[in-house]
Chain A
Amino acid sequence: MHSKDFDIVVDPVSKIEGHAELDIRVRNGEVEHVKLKINENKRFYTQTVRGKNFNSIPQLVSRICGTCSIAHLNCSAEALEKALNVELSDQSKLLRKLSMYGLNIRDHAMHLYLFCLPDIFEKDSVLDFEGEDAQWIKDAFEVKAAGNALSTLILGRAVHGMFAQIGGYAKVPEKEQTRQTIEKLKSVRQRVLKLIDIFYNRDFKFNRKTNHVCLITKDYSFLEGEVQSSTGICIPEINYWDHLERVVIPYSQAVGYKFDKGDYMVGAMSRMNMNKSALHPETKKDAAKYLSVFPSDNIYHNNLAQAIEILHCIDHSIEILESSAFVAEKKALPQGKESKGVGVLEAPRGTLYYMMELDGTGTIKFANIITPSQQNQINLEEDFRQVIPAMLDRDKHDIEHELEKMIRAYDPCFSCASHFLKVNWI
């Protein structure tokens, strides 16, 4: 780029839900503004759930996101269970963990193999991989299928799972299907180690210190614990609102968030930076070399963290499935009452919050849903602000590609993480 005055508009062609546009204005070599426009909530789910009976909520909000429907299913159920004082059985807790593992294996694998890997091989699509590289296509679909098999075992299907209920599960895993799922998980373990290695060896780099926030979970199961920040703050789930500040971003259909008035990051890298000691022993053993990278400030290590999380999900799932005999349990039948509950979990892309307020008949009066992509919005904008000045002398196509790569490092949501950003230079 030879001019010191230019505008960049990164605009997706037609992808709608969850899409992002990027608008950058540089004057006199200075970045004047960076606007990341995310469209995530425009189906108005926070309004939609109001007035509905609590029983219909998990299946309804599952439709917020096809990619991580299981996270919305589980988080809304948790909020309602807390509101209605429903205690999950030990078996149901395990099943919920397994459903999070199935989700993370499939979701991370899709993102790493289908969206990020082509950047490493400098190809447009994983479908274009040829010769020796074509083995990665097989890896992609085998690992994804293993995660899918686990979700199907627990929930009946991988997208909008059917067996999860408030307070329990309508169906428990069958023996033969459990055995097959264990085999499948074991069979992809080597492929996942190969995936971790390629992301470890990738030399993409952008370092910036930021505040990392995540749930600190004892067994790294994405579900329990307290919200902690790398600045040392620890918050019980119920007090989540004390530290989050909603920031209305006029050009975006999604609001952004600040944590204790500052920008912050959520997601796999935050979890790995703050909680790697809780990973499964087998994962820690086989990924020791890669784990030494964390804590890291290099945003591209978010992808390495995702790859390591796939391994953890596989290892812990195998252990749970091999050591459990699942039996049908009596279902909880919660009754509606005037109450309020908060659910917090780690979705693949970071901390997901659900707050539900019910009236005496069990009708939702108010709901607050905070998704990871909203929370990362301000941090990603700040990264762009800092990375662009160093690229001003580079070719247009190059800058555009670098920015896309950075978006994919964040994995902000299904659509913006993929390869379809159209960049218009004005």
Chain B
Amino acid sequence: MLQKIKELFVGQPKKTKLNVGVFSFTGDEGCVITFLEILNYKLDSWNGRVNFQHVRVMKKMNALDGLDVAFIEGAISNRKELEKLVEIRQKAKKVVAIGTCAINGAPSNHRNFFDEEKRKEILPVLERFHHLPSVEPIGKYVKVDAEVPGCPIIEEKFVEIMENYIKEFGVE
């Protein structure tokens, strides 16, 4: 109650941190590795302003609720991934596709272009592990708000998008 009254008089409390998640689907994780390289020189500056609340390469205790921005690498190749993607989209205010796999499916989608002979070879694996008929970019299934191109991602572009969101979400 007190908080509500306070908000009425002084407005919304200023946002102190951008809640960020970094997610990985089918791919080689090169974009997440590159994200870790970006931290070599950006962690100091982001540390006070970004809350890395869901980054599985760096922590076990991860949370999806209240996510502001989800950075997603990789293409979608099985049902489990698709369900997870939809869940992330529901929870995150912004979704950014990072790297070519997430943006257009390649190079994780080689099997989409296999001939009959190769298709036959891989069929048992596809069936056993519940793969979808084709490997697709995340934009095929959910709305994407921004893209960081490259294989792996162009570092400057990732930094630019992160800093734009820090501003857009009013982080002080």
Contact = CB atoms under 8 A, between A and B. Distances in A.
Interface stretch (A60-68, A331-339, A354-362, A382-390): A60-68
Interface string B32-68: 1110110111010000000010001111111000000
Interface string A50-71: 1000000000100111110100
Interface string B1-40: 0000000000000000000000111111111111011011
Contact of B43 (A16, A125, A137, A160): A137
Contacts of B26: 16-17, 42-43
A66 B152 contact: yes
Contact of B39 (A124, A141, A160): A141
A418 B43 contact: no
Contacts, number: 146
Contact of A419 (B23, B59, B121): B59
A326 interface: no
Chain A interface size range:
35 or more
Interface string B102-129: 0000011011001000100110010001
A67 B33 contact: yes
B interface SS class: mixed
A253 interface: yes
Given A42-B129, A69-B30, A159-B30, A414 B57 contact: yes
A148 to B, nearest CB: 6
B133 to A, nearest CB: 14
Given A44-B110, A114-B57, A418-B56, A15 B118 contact: no
Nearest to B37: A148
Contact of A15 (B24, B59, B152): B24
Contacts of A18: 29
A126 B58 CA distance: 7
A415 B110 contact: no
A48 interface: yes
B140 interface: no
A128 B58 CA distance: 10
Interface in B47-93: 52, 56-62, 74, 77-78, 80-81, 84
Contacts of B29: 17-18, 65-67, 414-415
Contact of B33 (A66, A124, A126): A66
A158 B31 CA distance: 11
* Residue from A42, A67, A415 whose CB has the most chain B CB atoms within 10 Å: A42
Given A63-B30, A159-B30, A414-B29, A16 B110 contact: no
A47 interface: yes
B111 A43 contact: yes
A120 interface: no
Given A43-B110, A145-B41, A418 B57 contact: yes
A127 B59 contact: yes
B159 interface: no
Interface in B131-166: 131, 135, 151-152
A144 B58 CA distance: 15
Nearest to A401: B60
A141 B58 CA distance: 13
A96 to B, nearest CB: 20
A124 to B, nearest CB: 5
Nearest to A47: B118
Interface string A98-128: 0000000000001000100000000011111
A159 B34 contact: yes
B61 A124 contact: yes
Contacts of B74: 16-17
Contacts of A141: 39-41, 43
A124 B61 CA distance: 7
A419 B60 contact: yes
B151 A63 contact: yes
Contacts of B57: 114, 414-415, 418-420
A48 B110 contact: yes
A420 B60 contact: yes
Contacts of A43: 26, 107-108, 110-111, 135
Contacts of B78: 16
Contacts of B37: 144-145, 148, 158-159
* Residue from A45, A142, A419 whose CB has the most chain B CB atoms within 10 Å: A419
Contact of B111 (A44, A69, A124): A44
Interface of B: 23-34, 36-37, 39-41, 43, 52, 56-62, 74, 77-78, 80-81, 84, 107-108, 110-111, 114, 118, 121-122, 125, 129, 131, 135, 151-152
Given A16-B27, A418-B57, A420-B62, 20 more contacts: A15-B56, A18-B29, A42-B26, A43-B26, A43-B111, A47-B114, A47-B121, A66-B30, A114-B57, A127-B52, A141-B40, A144-B36, A148-B40, A158-B33, A160-B30, A253-B125, A414-B57, A419-B57, A419-B59, A420-B56
17 contacts: A13-B84, A14-B84, A16-B26, A42-B26, A42-B131, A43-B110, A44-B110, A44-B125, A47-B118, A48-B111, A65-B28, A66-B27, A66-B30, A66-B33, A159-B37, A253-B125, A414-B33
Interface of A: 12-18, 39, 42-45, 47-48, 50, 60, 63-67, 69, 110, 114, 124-128, 137, 141-142, 144-145, 148, 158-160, 253, 414-415, 418-421
Nearest first, the 8 closest Cβ-Cβ pairs linking A and B are A66-B30, A420-B56, A125-B59, A419-B60, A66-B28, A145-B40, A48-B110, A66-B29
